[in-house]
A and B are shown apart, each in its own frame.
Chain A
Amino acid sequence: MTTEVAIVGIGMHEFGRTEGVSGMDQGVIAVRRACADAGVSWEDMQFAFGGSMAAGAADTMVSLLGLTGLQFINVANGCATGGSALFSAYNTIRSGVFDLGIAVGFDKHERGAFRVNTKGSGLGDWYGASGLALTTQFFGMKINRYMHEYGISQSTLAKVSEKAFRNGAINPMAWRRKPISEEEVLNSAMLSYPLTQYMFCSPGEGGVALILARADKAHLYTDKPIFLKAAVVRSRRFGSFEVLAPSIALEHNAGPTVDASKAAFEMAGMGPKDMDLAQLQDTESGAEVMHMAENGFCEHGEQEFMIQAGETEIGGKFPVNTDGGCLANGEPIGASGLRQVYENVLQLRGQAGARQVPNDPKTAYTHVYGAPGISGVTILSR
């Protein structure tokens, strides 16, 4: 008999650009806010999992938070760093080792597209030298092929961005807080055909911390516990089409998102139709479109109608990326997957303010995707 797990405290440092505050300091602020939210102190934490890609080893933050001797394990898993920290914290409690702990992620990246470390990614120097080591190219190529196969229009890509910035505008923690029209999105610089500047998220800064407890003790910390029903991370299989790949197989495999999604639904004992809202990886607007289908929320190609009809808006049939997603929040790698869970906790508590999904949502889904072909999914319920 495994133990159920609840999220009992959440904390976030504003996403975007915060001059003069290091990535780690943003993580520390997120931890303090999460502790305040749960009504606990750092001394109460029995364990921590944390990570960042570019802002230092997470475990060194104990010298800022207090040297309490807790078990602190660093997590480094690319774009799924936050999701992996949460997976680890979830299973630590589920297995009964500890009762209360924290998952934290933070980051601070240089401006512009990610500078890929080709050696660290197992690629030869020739790959970057030849102009192929850009994650943006993958996203352009994946959605270009997808549009060709399933009839998704550029207008739909632009509408995804328009929605993201509109939701970001009513999210006090978001980076991009100005609405941008579909026309402005379409007319912005073409970075990687068919994707324009405002269809891409930017590397950014921010921090998120989540405090987890045994479900049967959650009432000690909150009157609105949110239960973590599933946390899954999957890597790619042979034949999937992934970022930074000098070659891909002739055979086609649907990719790690499909695997992670199926496993998460199985773990939670639920299906896509049981979800009231979702935060889906939107590195660029095409990714949100494709991930709707890869996570099982529609058939391939149905997104064209759904998005044009406004079904994924906050007031729509199935709201997606209610906090503005990566497009409006930017992508601090270590924190990005936890930001999605933070938003879902707010939505399920009924504390999402101007962007609260109506009709009292009871279940919520998160999905993160990134290099080198890794996906993380969580399912939350009240």
Chain B
Amino acid sequence: MAQVPVTEGVFTWPSESPQLIGSRCVTCGNHMFPVQQGCPKCTGAETAEVLLGRRGTLWTWTVQGFPPKAPPYAGDVDPKTFKAFGVGYVELPGQLKIESRLTEADPEKLKIGMEMEMVIVPLSTDADGNEVVTFAFAPVA
């Protein structure tokens, strides 16, 4: 089964070490995600594409306990098979905090400050039978 990213331009794929694609302000150095023109920090209008770090620490988290509405959600929404998933903000040192799915959904195993690493996870299967993938962060073992 072929794998396709949920969208182009948000993370590098295919790749052995995928990275999120962000922007960096040419004027003040502020980092942004996803890619955007214009800097919310200094109001500068010029930004350049930058690949973001793959590791950081968990700044906060929750667990999505019920199936999201579809659309927009592309994953499993069948209440019988839906699996809760973690969501959090991961602080990438010197850059910014990224909102992301987490591979861990057990509140006992999620701790603010824990080390996290970016991974690619399956999300759904599209009409052509391809596996659609998106990014997530996983606890560093």
A46-54, A127-135, A303-311 - the one binding chain B: A127-135
Contact with B along A266-301 (1 / 0, CB 8 A): 000000000000000000000000000000000000
The reply to whether A193 and B62 form a contact with Cβ atoms under 8 Å apart is: yes
In the assembled complex, which residues on chain A have CB atoms less than 8 Å from the CB atom of B66? 113, 189, 191
Partner of B34, one of A141, A193, A246: A246
The reply to whether B73 and A245 form a contact with Cβ atoms under 8 Å apart is: no
Q: Give the shortest distance, in Å, between A195 (CB) and chain B (any CB).
A: 8
Q: Give the shortest distance, in Å, between A225 (CB) and chain B (any CB).
A: 42
| Bound form: Cα–Cα A194–B94 in Å | 29
Q: Across the two chains, which residue of chain B brings its CB closest to A130? A: B134
Q: Across the two chains, which residue of chain A brings its CB closest to B66? A: A191
User: A362 in the interface, Cβ–Cβ < 8 Å?
Assistant: no
The reply to whether A132 and B63 form a contact with Cβ atoms under 8 Å apart is: no
Given contact pairs A133-B68, A250-B91, A124 touches B99 in the complex (Cβ within 8 A): no
In the assembled complex, which residues on chain B have CB atoms less than 8 Å from the CB atom of A145? 59-60, 112
Q: Give the shortest distance, in Å, between A199 (CB) and chain B (any CB).
A: 12
User: B3 in the interface, Cβ–Cβ < 8 Å?
Assistant: no
The reply to whether B60 and A137 form a contact with Cβ atoms under 8 Å apart is: no
In the assembled complex, which residues on chain B have CB atoms less than 8 Å from the CB atom of A238? 40-41
Contact with A along B20-53 (1 / 0, CB 8 A): 0010000000101110000011000000000000
In the assembled complex, which residues on chain B have CB atoms less than 8 Å from the CB atom of A141? 60-62, 87-89
Which of A134, A193, A194 has most B Cβ within 10 Å? Answer: A193
User: A18 in the interface, Cβ–Cβ < 8 Å?
Assistant: no
User: B64 in the interface, Cβ–Cβ < 8 Å?
Assistant: yes
User: B119 in the interface, Cβ–Cβ < 8 Å?
Assistant: no
Q: Give the shortest distance, in Å, between A361 (CB) and chain B (any CB).
A: 37
| Bound form: Cα–Cα A140–B97 in Å | 16
The reply to whether B10 and A126 form a contact with Cβ atoms under 8 Å apart is: yes
User: B114 in the interface, Cβ–Cβ < 8 Å?
Assistant: no
Partner of B64, one of A124, A142, A192, A245: A192
Q: Give the shortest distance, in Å, between A200 (CB) and chain B (any CB).
A: 11
Contact with A along B75-97 (1 / 0, CB 8 A): 10000000001011101001111
User: What are 23 of the A-B contact pairs (CB < 8 Å)?
Assistant: A112-B69, A113-B68, A128-B72, A129-B73, A129-B74, A129-B134, A130-B74, A130-B134, A131-B68, A131-B87, A132-B101, A137-B64, A140-B62, A141-B87, A142-B60, A144-B60, A148-B112, A194-B62, A245-B99, A246-B98, A247-B34, A249-B96, A250-B94
Given contact pairs A141-B60, A145-B112, A128 touches B65 in the complex (Cβ within 8 A): no
Q: Across the two chains, which residue of chain A brings its CB closest to B134? A: A130
Q: Across the two chains, which residue of chain A brings its CB closest to B94? A: A250
Q: Which of A110-168 contact B (CB under 8 A)?
A: 112-113, 115-116, 118, 124-134, 137, 140-142, 144-145, 148
| Bound form: Cα–Cα A108–B87 in Å | 29
Q: Across the two chains, which residue of chain A brings its CB closest to B42? A: A238
The reply to whether B97 and A250 form a contact with Cβ atoms under 8 Å apart is: yes
In the assembled complex, which residues on chain A have CB atoms less than 8 Å from the CB atom of B132? 129
Partner of A189, one of B65, B74, B99: B65
Q: A132-B87, A191-B65, A191-B66 are in contact. List 14 more A-B contacts (CB 8 A).
A: A118-B72, A126-B6, A128-B72, A130-B134, A131-B87, A133-B73, A145-B60, A148-B112, A192-B64, A193-B61, A247-B22, A247-B97, A248-B97, A249-B96
User: A190 in the interface, Cβ–Cβ < 8 Å?
Assistant: yes
The reply to whether A113 and B69 form a contact with Cβ atoms under 8 Å apart is: yes
Q: Give the shortest distance, in Å, between A213 (CB) and chain B (any CB).
A: 40
Given contact pairs A126-B10, A129-B123, A144 touches B62 in the complex (Cβ within 8 A): yes
Q: Which of A243-270 contact B (CB under 8 A)?
A: 245-250
| Bound form: Cα–Cα A131–B121 in Å | 12
In the assembled complex, which residues on chain B have CB atoms less than 8 Å from the CB atom of A193? 61-63, 65, 107
The reply to whether A137 and B62 form a contact with Cβ atoms under 8 Å apart is: yes
| Bound form: Cα–Cα A121–B124 in Å | 24
Q: Which 10 A-B pairs have the closest CB atoms?
A: A128-B72, A140-B62, A126-B7, A145-B60, A129-B74, A247-B33, A193-B63, A130-B134, A141-B60, A126-B6
Contact with A along B111-138 (1 / 0, CB 8 A): 0100000000001000000001011000
